[in-house]
Amino acid sequence: MNETGEGSVWGKDEQTCLRAIQRFKTKNRAMGIPEHIDPEPQTIEIEWPIDPVPLNVQKAVGKLIVKRGEFGFLETERVDEIARIIEEYPIGLEQSLSLRAAINQEKSVYSHRRIMDRKKDLRRRYENGTGILELAKLVDGPPVNVFRAILTARNHSKNRIKMMLKEPGRMNERDQEQFRIAEEADRVANVDQSETHLAADLFEDILCDHFESLGVRFRRQGELSKEQILSEGRPIRTPDLLFLDDLRINGIPCAWIDAKHFFGSALSFPRKKTQKQVNRYTEVYGQGAIIYRHGFCDGLHLRGAQKLDAMPVDLSRLIEHNESRS
């Protein structure tokens, strides 16, 4: 039991929970927390129901919905096929599609070295007429990454490759055609991720509206970034929401929230990436939470952050946005 009489229920996160509670009491407050908050921070308790996907379901479904060399946006027929595959499992279609994207992203990361090791062979096959999608299936890697490997095998510098991918008109006719095919078939390494960012930004806006409606005060990422660029020269710790009240979610202190517009899978690569981000926040603000747009797997373990899904949030604006773009 700690000095507040609460710590035992927080388990391994006791220290980060205490740090979250005490963040308004320290003499020198952490970056982003104003010295004067008027009125003083209030303790606000909210209940947040969650419905995580069991780990065994994630594993089983993951094996069924991912195909070798398939990294792109799916045709309606393929989506319908996945919907039929998961009918007997307690996981939704959007969750499954997001899980598929996470698996493909992890495959992309871990296949990079393997693809680069074969870059000369890939270039030879490509220049002998093999199409980029066939090569991507051969190495089970994202088509755009395979295309990059071919350009690397031609001894182009990283800067030149980056420029060519941004301005495909600099390539010869066949390369332009194959790059277009690669981009259309690649959701993971696609150069243009603007639509993904739009949806993520809207999800963050919706979460802000939700917490405002609950009377919880906070500062947003954009505001924190500008402030830290002025004081530190760059953004350092910028959660999507930094709370100015002593918020407790399901009885657990929550100093900050980060929004993730995807399914919180229990895969190694995204977990490590998220944990690294969480660590930056907890060391100064204490315990926080990650809200996953498409829910999360109960096998996902994060130190210093409660996992939440978007069940209590009105997502109608986001759904309308996605439908208008489809």
- pLDDT per position as a tens digit, 65-120: 999 989 988 999 999 999 999 999 999 999 999 999 999 999 999 899 999 999 99
pLDDT in tens, 25-74: 988 899 999 999 999 999 999 999 999 999 999 999 999 999 998 998 89
Task: Tell me the three state secondary structure of residue 218.
Answer: strand
Judge whether residue 8 has pLDDT over 70: no
What pLDDT shows up at residue 3?
A: 46
The mean predicted confidence, pLDDT, of the chain is 93
Does an H or E element contain 19, and which? helix 14-22
The whole-number pLDDT of residue 196 equals 75
3-state secondary structure of 230: helix
Looking at residue 11, what is its pLDDT? 87
Q: Tens of pLDDT along 275-298?
A: 999 999 999 999 999 999 999 999
Q: Where are the alpha helices (DSSP H) in 156-315?
A: 158-166, 173-184, 194-213, 221-232, 268-285
Q: What is the dihedral of CA 281, 307, 107, 157, to 10 degrees?
A: -20
* pTM for this entry: 0.86
